[in-house]
Structure 1
Amino acid sequence: MLTFNHQSYPHSNTRHSTYGKKGMVATSQPLAAQAGLEILKKGGNAIDAAIATAACLTVVEPTSNGIGGDAFALVWTKDELHGLNSSGKAPKAISIDAVKEAGHDEIPTHGWIPVTVPGVPGAWAELSEKFGRLPLEEVLEPAIQYAQEGYPVSPTLGKYWNFAYKSFKEKLTDDVFKHWFDTFAPNGRAPKVGEVWSSKGHAETLRSIGKTNAKSFYHGELAEKISQFSNETGGYLTAEDLAEFQPEWVKPINVNYRGYDVWEIPPNGQGIVALQALNILKGFEFPERDSVNTFHKQIEALKLAFADAGKHVTDEGHMKVKAEQLLSDDYGELRRKLIGEEALLPEAGDPSLSGTVYLAAADGEGNMISYIQSNYMGFGSGLVVPGTGIALQNRGHNFSMDPEHVNALAGGKRTYHTIIPGFMTKGDQPVGPFGVMGGFMQPQGHVQVVMNTIDFGMNPQAALDAPRWQWMKEKVVEVENRFPHHLAQGLAEKGHHIKIALEPNSFGRGQIIWRNPETGVLVGGTESRTDGTVAAW
Structure 2
Amino acid sequence: MNFDPLYQPFASHRVPVYANKGMVATSQPLAAQAGLDVLKQGGNAMDAAVATAAALTVLEPASNGIGGDAFALVWTGGKLYGLNASGPAPGTLSIEALTSAGYTEMPKLGVVPVTVPGAPAGWAELSRRFGRLTLAEALEPAARYAEEGYPLPPGLARNWARAAGIYASQGEVLKGSAWFETFAPGGRTPASGEIWRSPDHASTLRQIGESDARDFYEGGLAERMHAFMAEHGGYMTRDDLASFKPEWVEPISVSYRGYDVWEIPPNGQGLIALSALNLLKGFAFEEKESVLTYHRQLEAMKLAFADGEKYITDHGKMGVTIQELLSETYADERRKLIGDTARLPEAGDPQASGTVYLAVADGEGSMVSFIQSNYMGFGSGIVVPGTGIALQNRGHNFSLDPSHANRLEPGKRTYHTIIPGFLTRGSKAVGPFGVMGGFMQPQGHVQVIMNTLDFHLNPQAALDSPRWQWTKGRTVMVEPGFPQHIAQALARKGHDIQVALDSSTFGRGQIIWRNPDNGVLCGGTESRTDGTIAAW
1:405 corresponds in structure 2 to: 404
2:272 corresponds in structure 1 to: 273
2:512 is equivalent to residue 509 of structure 1: no
Offset from partner CA, 1:44-68 (integer Å, 9 cap, x none): 0001001000000000100000000
Letter in 1 for 2:239: E
- Pairwise CA distance, 1:112: 1.3
1:235 corresponds in structure 2 to: 234
1:164 corresponds in structure 2 to: 163
TM-score calculated relative to the size of structure 2:
0.99
2:29 corresponds in structure 1 to: 30
**Taking structure 1 as reference, are residues 193 and 353 closer, same or farther at Cα in structure 2, changes over 3 Å only?**
same
Runs of 4+ in structure 1 displaced over 3 angstroms? 172-175
1:332 corresponds in structure 2 to: 331
**Taking structure 1 as reference, are residues 97 and 327 closer, same or farther at Cα in structure 2, changes over 3 Å only?**
same
Offset from partner CA, 1:122-180 (integer Å, 9 cap, x none): 00000000000111111111100000010001100000101111111123455625411
Secondary structure (helix, strand or coil) at the match of 2:533 reads strand
TM-score calculated relative to the size of structure 1:
0.99
Secondary structure (helix, strand or coil) at the match of 2:210 reads helix
- Pairwise CA distance, 1:12: 2.5
After the TM superposition, which residues 125-136 of structure 1 pair with which residues of structure 2 at under 5 Å, given as runs?
Answer: 125-136=124-135
1:250 corresponds in structure 2 to: 249
After the TM superposition, which residues 192-341 of structure 1 pair with which residues of structure 2 at under 5 Å, given as runs?
Answer: 192-341=191-340
> How many angstroms apart in 1 are the aligned matches of 2:398 and 2:173?
24
Question: Does the aligned pair in 1 maintain the 2:87–2:244 contact within 8 Å?
Answer: yes
1:378 corresponds in structure 2 to: 377
- Pairwise CA distance, 1:103: 2.1
Letter in 1 for 2:432: P
Identity level (%):
65
2:67 is equivalent to residue 60 of structure 1: no
Letter in 1 for 2:351: S
Secondary structure (helix, strand or coil) at the match of 2:273 reads helix
Question: Does the aligned pair in 1 maintain the 2:111–2:233 contact within 8 Å?
Answer: yes
Offset from partner CA, 1:94-118 (integer Å, 9 cap, x none): 1112112222111110011111000
Offset from partner CA, 1:175-209 (integer Å, 9 cap, x none): 62541111111111111111100000000000000
2:447 corresponds in structure 1 to: 448
> How many angstroms apart in 2 are the aligned matches of 1:535 and 1:463?
19
Secondary structure (helix, strand or coil) at the match of 2:201 reads helix
Offset from partner CA, 1:3-50 (integer Å, 9 cap, x none): 112345343211000000000000000000000000000000001001
> How many angstroms apart in 2 are the aligned matches of 1:380 and 1:333?
39
Report the count of equivalent residues.
536
Letter in 1 for 2:304: A
> How many angstroms apart in 1 are the aligned matches of 2:89 and 2:264?
20
Secondary structure (helix, strand or coil) at the match of 2:178 reads helix
Question: Does the aligned pair in 1 maintain the 2:78–2:427 contact within 8 Å?
Answer: yes
Letter in 2 for 1:182: E
2:79 corresponds in structure 1 to: 80
Question: Does the aligned pair in 1 maintain the 2:176–2:232 contact within 8 Å?
Answer: no
Secondary structure (helix, strand or coil) at the match of 2:451 reads helix
Secondary structure (helix, strand or coil) at the match of 2:188 reads coil
Secondary structure (helix, strand or coil) at the match of 1:401 reads coil
> How many angstroms apart in 2 are the aligned matches of 1:248 and 1:77?
18
Letter in 1 for 2:263: E
Secondary structure (helix, strand or coil) at the match of 2:517 reads coil
> How many angstroms apart in 1 are the aligned matches of 2:9 and 2:267?
37
The farther-off stretch of 295-304 and 163-172 is 163-172
After the TM superposition, which residues 428-447 of structure 1 pair with which residues of structure 2 at under 5 Å, given as runs?
Answer: 428-447=427-446
**Taking structure 1 as reference, are residues 175 and 58 closer, same or farther at Cα in structure 2, changes over 3 Å only?**
closer
- The alignment's C-alpha RMSD in Å is 0.8
1:358 corresponds in structure 2 to: 357
2:94 is equivalent to residue 109 of structure 1: no
Letter in 2 for 1:3: N
> How many angstroms apart in 1 are the aligned matches of 2:190 and 2:227?
29
The farther-off stretch of 362-371 and 187-196 is 187-196
